[in-house]
Chains A and B, each alone.
Chain A
């Protein structure tokens, strides 16, 4: 392990990679801060740029963007009460009231320190957990992987907003359907191409991500432009107040951070959960832990109430890398985007990544820690300046998002069919979003589609077409039991009025 850490450190500390972490953190912060644009959009916009780099550098850049975007989301939550990402909704509960009291600088500093601490603690957990889990996951067989993917897709749907389970499951099926377009991986038979040569290689993953996130986000912002409830309520960005945190507030944070980090990391590891659930649970847990006097301050600018979700959402980000790096199965929409990018580099994450590409495995883990340090050093003094980005007029912002989306696709194929397809999918996605059909399950399903079909094929061939493979191995049976429990619970909730 020590050797691996040293390999990772030497890769992550190269000039290019440090520069990439810095650029990633900075760009991620800016994109994440803009309401409506989250880490998935930020990473999607970065994918075309990473084509020119080696895999480790590309992944390090995307990891930096991820943390930066989560931190940036907190900034818009605190200053505008307009969370850039769902994972920072809970941050607004106490961050925005604090900003309204003239303590915006302090709220941003508490968020930055908590994010740093949560990210650092969970990076250490990741350092310990990932190699051991990699060894365990080597014993996984095709039926276990298939079951795990079914669990992941069910879990991401179950953890969607209240009452959205069926909608999310429909998006999962749509994502899987889109993944079947093109040549079958084994027989090379073309499916669902309708004799269109442009579809023979299937639909590009970048196209789907750009269409359902970047472009559709931009179209949604235009579409809802007249809605006064969605217009950003801008507090004075010139008077942020001091960023100094008092001794008393530091003590409060010191109590909150360890427990929220552990909770956030564990939630992040679970397939389908992630930063949003982690932050809400940490907020709720913290309210139960504190004394009655502190409890009354929740929702009115409590330090505990701000620190807990911020710590947990960053800890969950590191946690979500565990299933990606060790099993090759992303647990969230954002890590699904990263999996797609890795596959684009010709790298298959999973238990063997630890042995075949140790420099990638370890450099990503080490760069997470470096990213946290850079995020703190870079963002804290720049808070007042970064906050001004929020004032960029949408008339300029939206066309630029569209420009990056179209360029990303054009660079891939120099083919305008892909641009037409992206516009079509983005328009459909915009209408689906309008009626609360969630997009992350679609992305996760699209990325996992090929692998899912492959593992199902192997499992069915081994069992000679019998469904026995679902319960022959205890591990498969246990994973599927979890899936059944989730589906049963969601069905029960649907019928219970």
Chain B
């Protein structure tokens, strides 16, 4: 038996709703609130049941329109690269600072999306981020924490 992707997602949603409902029942409420008409558990419990009901309906009802996605036309390679460099960017942003990490993230993204015009890639990374930081920090007075630039004495 082959299950359609929409029904598979609905099945995952059903599992999520069951887990959510289980967690909702386990929310610790104050003892005096235990039998109150409404406590911290009430709304999540309703939501859990609603999620189970709706996903169950989606699984059992026939699909009027089937969404077909041709996986050969999906660019898994590029999206994987972009997600990986986004994760690396998130991991290093606090350590090496906003300026360098963001500029390197931009250059890497341009490269993995197939760009090879290095002059444009450079202009739209280091100088672009510097101007953006100046606008935020210098003009709008929005603080951007950057240990590297602080070390160099560029930022306070």
Q: Name which residue of chain A comes closest to B75, CB basis.
A: A225
Chain B interface, DSSP helix/strand/loop, else mixed: helix
**Chain A residues within 8 Å of B102, by CB:** 403, 406-407
Bound Cα distance from A81 to B94, whole angstroms: 43
**Do B75 and A224 touch (CB < 8 A)?**
yes
- Cross-chain pairs A/B with CB under 8 angstroms, 20 sampled: A166-B61, A170-B10, A180-B43, A184-B40, A192-B44, A219-B82, A222-B79, A224-B73, A227-B74, A393-B115, A395-B110, A395-B115, A396-B110, A406-B90, A411-B144, A416-B91, A456-B38, A456-B42, A460-B37, A460-B42
**Chain B residues within 8 Å of A432, by CB:** 9
Q: If the complex has contacts A170-B58, A226-B73, are A457 and B106 also in contact, measured as CB distance less than 8 A?
A: no
**Chain B residues within 8 Å of A52, by CB:** 140-142
Interface residues of B in 99-139 (CB under 8 A from A): 102, 105-106, 109-110, 113-115, 120, 124, 132, 136
Q: Name which residue of chain B comes closest to A405, CB basis.
A: B86
**Do B93 and A189 touch (CB < 8 A)?**
no
Q: If the complex has contacts A173-B54, A187-B30, are A222 and B61 also in contact, measured as CB distance less than 8 A?
A: no
**Chain B residues within 8 Å of A430, by CB:** 79
**Chain B residues within 8 Å of A176, by CB:** 47
Q: Is the C-beta of B152 less than 8 angstroms from some C-beta in chain A? A: no
Chain A interface, DSSP helix/strand/loop, else mixed: helix
**Do A423 and B87 touch (CB < 8 A)?**
yes
Measured as residues with beta carbon below 8 angstroms from the partner, the interface class of chain B is 35 or more
Q: Is the C-beta of A298 less than 8 angstroms from some C-beta in chain B? A: no
Interface string of B40-67 (1 = CB under 8 A from A): 1011100100110011011001111101
**Chain B residues within 8 Å of A399, by CB:** 105-106, 109-110, 113
**Chain A residues within 8 Å of B37, by CB:** 460-461, 463-465
**Do A435 and B113 touch (CB < 8 A)?**
no
The minimal Cβ–Cβ distance linking B103 to chain A, given in whole angstroms, is: 10
**Chain A residues within 8 Å of B57, by CB:** 166
**Do B40 and A187 touch (CB < 8 A)?**
yes
Interface residues of A in 402-435 (CB under 8 A from B): 402-403, 406-407, 410-411, 414, 416, 419-420, 423, 427, 430-432, 434-435
Q: Is the C-beta of B155 less than 8 angstroms from some C-beta in chain A? A: no
Bound Cα distance from A184 to B33, whole angstroms: 13
Interface residues of A in 196-233 (CB under 8 A from B): 219, 222-228
**Chain A residues within 8 Å of B17, by CB:** 173
Q: If the complex has contacts A225-B75, A399-B109, A423-B83, are A191 and B51 also in contact, measured as CB distance less than 8 A?
A: no
**Do A411 and B44 touch (CB < 8 A)?**
no
Q: If the complex has contacts A224-B73, A411-B142, A465-B38, are A419 and B51 also in contact, measured as CB distance less than 8 A?
A: no
Interface residues of A in 53-72 (CB under 8 A from B): none
Measured as residues with beta carbon below 8 angstroms from the partner, the interface class of chain A is 35 or more
**Do A167 and B124 touch (CB < 8 A)?**
no
The minimal Cβ–Cβ distance linking B123 to chain A, given in whole angstroms, is: 10
**Do A420 and B30 touch (CB < 8 A)?**
no
Q: If the complex has contacts A163-B65, A180-B47, A400-B124, are A51 and B142 also in contact, measured as CB distance less than 8 A?
A: yes
Bound Cα distance from A338 to B105, whole angstroms: 30
- Give the residue of A223, A396, A414 whose beta carbon is less than 8 angstroms from that of B74: A223
The minimal Cβ–Cβ distance linking A197 to chain B, given in whole angstroms, is: 16
The minimal Cβ–Cβ distance linking B110 to chain A, given in whole angstroms, is: 6
**Do A403 and B86 touch (CB < 8 A)?**
no
Bound Cα distance from A457 to B46, whole angstroms: 12
**Chain A residues within 8 Å of B148, by CB:** none
Bound Cα distance from A323 to B44, whole angstroms: 27
**Do A437 and B9 touch (CB < 8 A)?**
yes
Q: Name which residue of chain A comes closest to B103, CB basis.
A: A403
Q: Is the C-beta of B15 less than 8 angstroms from some C-beta in chain A? A: no
Q: Is the C-beta of B1 less than 8 angstroms from some C-beta in chain A? A: no
**Do B65 and A416 touch (CB < 8 A)?**
no
**Chain A residues within 8 Å of B70, by CB:** 227
The minimal Cβ–Cβ distance linking B117 to chain A, given in whole angstroms, is: 9
The minimal Cβ–Cβ distance linking B3 to chain A, given in whole angstroms, is: 13
**Do A180 and B78 touch (CB < 8 A)?**
no
Interface residues of A in 433-448 (CB under 8 A from B): 434-437
